[in-house]
Structure 1
Amino acid sequence: MREKRSVSTRGIILRIRNLGEQDRFITFYTPDYGKITCLAKGVRKISSRRAGHIELMNRVKIELWKSRHQWYLTQCSSEENFKEIKRKMPSIASGIFILEAIDRLTMEEHPLPELFDILNKSLQLMEFYSEDHAWIREIILIKLLKILGYINSFKHCGTCREKLPEQHAYWEETFNVLCESCLQKKPPMQARLERLDFSVLKLMNFILEHPLENTLMINKRLQHKENIEQWGRRFLYKNLSHQLKSEEALRLY
């Protein structure tokens, strides 16, 4: 079957890179094609009708054309600009952190419609609850990592798959939580094990199993935020060699 050369879809802008004086490479996450990086010819010209629609985080309708080796952006129009997020630097930093995480963790043209949906929902929630941007950011990261397969379970043992009892531990080398029975026979003597408070398991499991909107009902006390952030970062950097650039901006705000 002959591959379609011209396509129409929607996308959220993850990254923008200038090329020369007139062009740009733009990376979108789309529901149909996953992450796509395309060349936008002439988009930096003052006369370009596409220029005003191309900003980080924007959700846009796009028309693309594909040559043998490259996608090209032919049309682009905004669906949502998320103006409330962009009013203040702290919420901008949170939004960019999520965009960079997705860009770093995904491959080109491997579609995950669920990933597009949760990215879109996260930006909508940040837009509506902009003061809770940091809380939403950390919860979204946990959910993204689950979709991408970087988090297994905080409810079942990573070895025997039985429901975790109150006695359990996190095995750092395998990124799994193990029950007491498996702990006694599985890890080698030098394994790095960490006992977890049962309340941490309940918190993480609630985030993983409930819709995004429901997680906003969690008590937003500092200890909960710190726990969510700690585990999100552990799994985020499971397969990344260095920190996201946007981490520095988060520390400023």
Structure 2
Amino acid sequence: MAGLYQVQGIVLSTQDFREADRILHILTPNRGKITAIAKGVRKAHSNLRSGTQRLCLARFLLYDGRSMATVTQCQVEDFFAPLRADLERLLTACYLAEIADVSVPAGQASPEMFGLLRRSLGLLVRENPHLVARAFEARAISVLGFAPRVNLCAACGAPLEEGLIPFAPAAGGALCSRCSRQYGAQYRVSREALAVWRNLASMGGSHLSRLKLSPRCQRELAEILPAYLEYYLDRRLKSRILMEQIREDAYEYGTRKN
């Protein structure tokens, strides 16, 4: 039938529409992002209900319309159920989905980003969510072509000094002490953090359980990786803002409780 096609995809986000419909933003490996409407999906008896929820991996049968596709059938492949029972893992999953959403233009194939998101959601079920997030960020930066220079000065190519190293997103990586004066916002990071960044970017999340990072290294990566990614995406990520707010509220509540 003309206009009817099948795709595998991950639901990045959803939006309720009219009384019972839902608009889906789906990441696919070969068609990029697709916007589709699932009609009547919010009704209790809808057979599309399970496969059209956020963060669901499914196979969709779509019909191309004038403004957007219509979901006619869907078959769930992975619901990632454990993520939905753990707030931190769920928020992290939404953060990864948002990165994929803003990174891939509509209609532009990105099998690398699709594969990265799919693997990372699977890792989130069992691995440390902070490490999964850092691995996803590092690999996404490489996939997008923004990999930083971390072994030599990003500005002049000189060797990096000992001790904490200046790191500037605007420069595209680490800096020597002479060049560090030429750029704006900077971070001071250890060689350990830069080495781990390289490893995370190359392994893309595999063997995360084997990584043994110092608390300082974890803090440095949690600061510089999201900052670098947001600099090149040219936006603050809403999911990250929400995660930070929840952590702050939890800390304040714990402080008041004690």
Alignment TM class, shorter chain as reference: 0.7 to 0.9
The one-letter amino acid paired with 1:170 is F
Match of 2:183 among 183, 191, 212: 191
Counterpart-to-counterpart distance in 2, 1:156 and 1:246: 30
Report the equivalent of 1:201: 194
Contact 1:6 1:63 in 2 (8 A): yes
Counterpart-to-counterpart distance in 2, 1:75 and 1:114: 26
Change (3 A) 1:144 1:211: closer
1:35-184 aligned at under 5 Å gives the runs 35-129=33-127, 132-155=128-151, 157-159=153-155, 165-166=160-161, 169-178=166-175, 180=176
Contact 1:65 1:72 in 2 (8 A): yes
Identity of aligned residues (%): 19
* Segment of structure 1 superposing worse, 221-230 or 144-153: 144-153
Contact 1:171 1:194 in 2 (8 A): yes
Counterpart-to-counterpart distance in 2, 1:49 and 1:145: 38
Change (3 A) 1:157 1:209: farther
* Segment of structure 1 superposing worse, 225-234 or 14-23: 225-234
Counterpart-to-counterpart distance in 2, 1:39 and 1:164: 54
Report the equivalent of 2:251: none
Cα RMSD over matched residues?
2.6
Q: SS where residue 67 of structure 2 aligns?
A: coil
Contact 1:155 1:163 in 2 (8 A): no
Q: Give the count of matched residue pairs.
A: 242
Counterpart-to-counterpart distance in 2, 1:121 and 1:23: 29
Q: SS where residue 15 of structure 1 aligns?
A: strand
Q: Compute the displacement of 1:82 (Å).
A: 0.9
TM-score (norm 1): 0.83
Counterpart-to-counterpart distance in 1, 2:131 and 2:82: 16
Counterpart-to-counterpart distance in 2, 1:18 and 1:126: 27
Report the equivalent of 1:242: 236
Q: SS where residue 96 of structure 1 aligns?
A: helix
Counterpart-to-counterpart distance in 2, 1:191 and 1:148: 23
Report the equivalent of 2:220: 227
Q: Compute the displacement of 1:124 (Å).
A: 0.9
Contact 2:171 2:183 in 1 (8 A): no
Structure 2 gap ranges (5+)? 248-258
Counterpart-to-counterpart distance in 1, 2:46 and 2:152: 54
Counterpart-to-counterpart distance in 2, 1:37 and 1:156: 43
Match of 1:6 among 4, 8, 12: 4
Change (3 A) 1:195 1:15: closer
Change (3 A) 1:25 1:203: same
Counterpart-to-counterpart distance in 2, 1:134 and 1:194: 20
Change (3 A) 1:59 1:243: closer
